[in-house]
Chain A
């Protein structure tokens, strides 16, 4: 068993100078299910994108070896597919309006001289569908199928290309328990037929169930590859999070006041599938002067929770109560939320946070334009003064307040977004991934701003997928998993291990709720 079907040697990948992967080694034995685990941002997806040719040869350092010898230089996804490597991303790549058969052979049409042979298409599709155990018409349209079946069709698509190494990125993240179980069984079946699988998953119980070997990545480095016989969930968690905490967080005086913000029995359903519950009976509160963390892995529902609270910006069939300073409030739109003193700084600065083609000034005053205008006419002097004040106070590195936001660095963009919401003078600030895409120096500045907000008696809810950050910054931390609050801990007593354990424990009781 010394021969590896796949070997990635010394892989280093930089994104604008920052290393996402540092000298990563990754080896997979044939006919196995090999799990790849790590925290968000550990580099799993980047590594798989290199393997499948999404990041072409030349944009990374290191070698990819197939079958113990051949060095592969994939320039495109097609190149890797030709060698029998197929990747199924979290975001499915199916065309909803086309049929199952058409989707299976998309880009690989069963055609002679450009003319599609429909009989062959249908027959072959039906054959492959049998392999994945799906009993539906190959004429069915993708949009009429559930996510579980769509996932299986992605696998069918890979099988149609004579796949030898199948990569699945969080395949069960969006599936219900029944579909997840089916999918995992199918992977085991495929393995027995000789197809090697690389499985990226946060659900350690699944991994322990189906995988033979586990590779752990952390901060872009390979930590270890262990045999399933030596692995327990505890060991894996330790390997995943085991970094030492240095003093990366500014000190804050803890002066916790009255309860300022409360959510009671909050339920939200998926806007695309109104039977799927995204947020399930969530209760939480935050006090004035308190920084409360909201932790969860990807897909846990953190952002969905925040958006649904912030003016029903996400979700359908929303129910529950929101209280600010003990008073019940009704929020129907984003404007209602802002009026009631709630601010939400999005994780997605570029899509929904800032108008990149506008100036720093225009972005800062956008939410609270009324504060710098009289009878709907903007007072230029007043506006410039406000913008300049925030530019200096938050240390936004720029040539002037008239610089376009799109030309600023991530950290400075984040500070512009913070300025915008602080200028609206909210009582509660929900900060979604406030340090995502921000370099280390700017992170410290942003932490200081958050501390200052809490110091001025605001209530701060901080959503983050970086546990050390929450442990360093928060007074209390709520742990969210699969739309539920599965734990609440005092940050002083919390450790990465016990927070991860909350999540893993709750995954064990799949199927109890809903």
Chain B
């Protein structure tokens, strides 16, 4: 039970620690800045969470984000329609992830490899499409990443909507439930009549929509269509999901955990910046935190299950299968 709330405890402690170390931390400006910066990776992290719970993975998120972003930017420049460009961005993300889904669900390609291929392809398409040039002067397109509604940053509103959406589908829908079963024990899911292929498709399509949206928000925030932007963002997303308690072996994870994980990373980055920590050193610290989070997770899990799934049973099982 304690373990379940550890992550939120860490978040709260970190929040107060940050406030103590640096008074600027609590300023509305700084907090709204953190949320705005975090919106993109957190939305990606929700997509990653959905996939990892179902036993999948998306390494192509950063590249697809860039492709969807430049397509959305270009659409805006030629149509001047915010809605249309948002839709183009989301559809581009979904299209790339449809291909991911075909590779993973139909052709049984390991998700790591399938999305590695997509990572390379999507980046290539983005560069081809823009001839490697940044698209500048985005005009009103910047409202997605920089605007506010009643004082609330637009990107944060998107983040809240996505967070609630993710929580709802994971917790309350049949799709969510089958996803936990597929990731927890695919053989049992198949034997229970779950349409595993369809679950995988839906998971990748949702992830694609999130990635596309993140592309729009990102390009809008930096005020440029950057075909070379967002490199490595998929790993920021994975970091948030893992620190948030999503198990890489599948079947375990929550939306709230991922949200907390993303903000833990965000607070840490922010406080290290405010404290003028060397940016190279910051990387080392971030890496160490991932390692510790995972070691802690495995260590506690090991203590809980040891003795229950002992060697003997496994051996017996193997012999049975052979007969």
Contacts and interface: CB of A to CB of B under 8 A. Distances in A.
A91 B187 contact: no
Interface in B204-229: none
A358 interface: yes
Contact of A407 (B189, B194, B308): B308
Contacts of B312: 15
Interface string B312-323: 110101111111
14 contacts: A15-B312, A91-B321, A337-B193, A346-B191, A350-B317, A355-B185, A356-B184, A357-B252, A362-B180, A366-B177, A366-B178, A369-B174, A369-B177, A380-B172
B192 to A, nearest CB: 5
B26 interface: no
Contacts of B193: 311, 333-335, 337-338, 367
Contacts of B181: 355, 358, 362, 366
Residue of B195, B309, B312 with highest tally of chain A CB at under 10 A: B312
Contact of A378 (B177, B305, B319, B323): B177
Contacts of B187: 351-352
A299 interface: yes
B251 interface: yes
Interface string A30-57: 0000000000000001000100001000
B174 A355 contact: no
Given A170-B323, A357-B252, A370-B174, A348 B317 contact: yes
Contacts of B318: 91
A115 interface: no
A310 B315 CA distance: 27
Given A346-B191, A377-B173, A357 B184 contact: yes
Contacts, number: 104
Interface residues of A, number: 47
Residue of B190, B252, B322 with highest tally of chain A CB at under 10 A: B322
A355 B251 contact: yes
A299 B188 CA distance: 23
Residue of B185, B305, B313, B315 with highest tally of chain A CB at under 10 A: B185
Interface of B: 172-175, 177-178, 180-181, 184-185, 187-195, 251-252, 305, 308-310, 312-313, 315, 317-323
Given A90-B322, A351-B317, A369 B178 contact: yes
A370 B195 CA distance: 13
A313 interface: yes
Contacts of B173: 373, 376-378
B252 A362 contact: no
Contacts of A98: none
A472 interface: no
A436 B305 CA distance: 21
Nearest to B175: A376
Interface in A353-396: 353-358, 362, 365-367, 369-370, 373, 376-378, 380
A89 interface: yes
Given A335-B193, A406-B305, A373 B184 contact: no
A367 B192 CA distance: 5
Interface pairs A-B: 4 shortest CB-CB: A91-B322, A355-B184, A298-B323, A352-B187
Contacts of A377: 172-174
Given A90-B323, A170-B323, A352 B191 contact: yes
A89 B177 contact: no
Contacts of A337: 193
B180 A89 contact: no
A5 interface: no
Interface of A: 15-16, 45, 49, 54, 89-91, 170, 173, 298-299, 310-311, 313, 333-335, 337-338, 344, 346-348, 350-358, 362, 365-367, 369-370, 373, 376-378, 380, 406-407, 420
A350 B316 CA distance: 12
Contact of A358 (B184, B310, B319): B184
B46 to A, nearest CB: 19
Contacts of B308: 406-407
A459 B59 CA distance: 49
Nearest to B305: A406
A338 B190 CA distance: 11
A454 B305 CA distance: 37
A499 B172 CA distance: 51
B189 A355 contact: yes
Nearest to B187: A352
B248 to A, nearest CB: 13
Contacts of A338: 193
A227 B252 CA distance: 58
A89 B188 contact: no
B255 to A, nearest CB: 16
Given A338-B193, A362-B181, A354 B188 contact: yes
Contacts of B174: 369-370, 373, 376-378
Contacts of A348: 317, 320-321
B180 A355 contact: yes
B191 A344 contact: yes
Given A313-B190, A355-B185, 7 more contacts: A15-B312, A89-B322, A90-B323, A346-B191, A352-B187, A365-B177, A378-B177
Residue of B174, B192, B309 with highest tally of chain A CB at under 10 A: B192
B191 A356 contact: no
Nearest to A49: B315
B17 to A, nearest CB: 33
Contacts of B322: 89-91
Contacts of A335: 193, 195
B215 to A, nearest CB: 28
Given A373-B174, A376-B173, A91 B319 contact: yes
Contacts of A333: 193
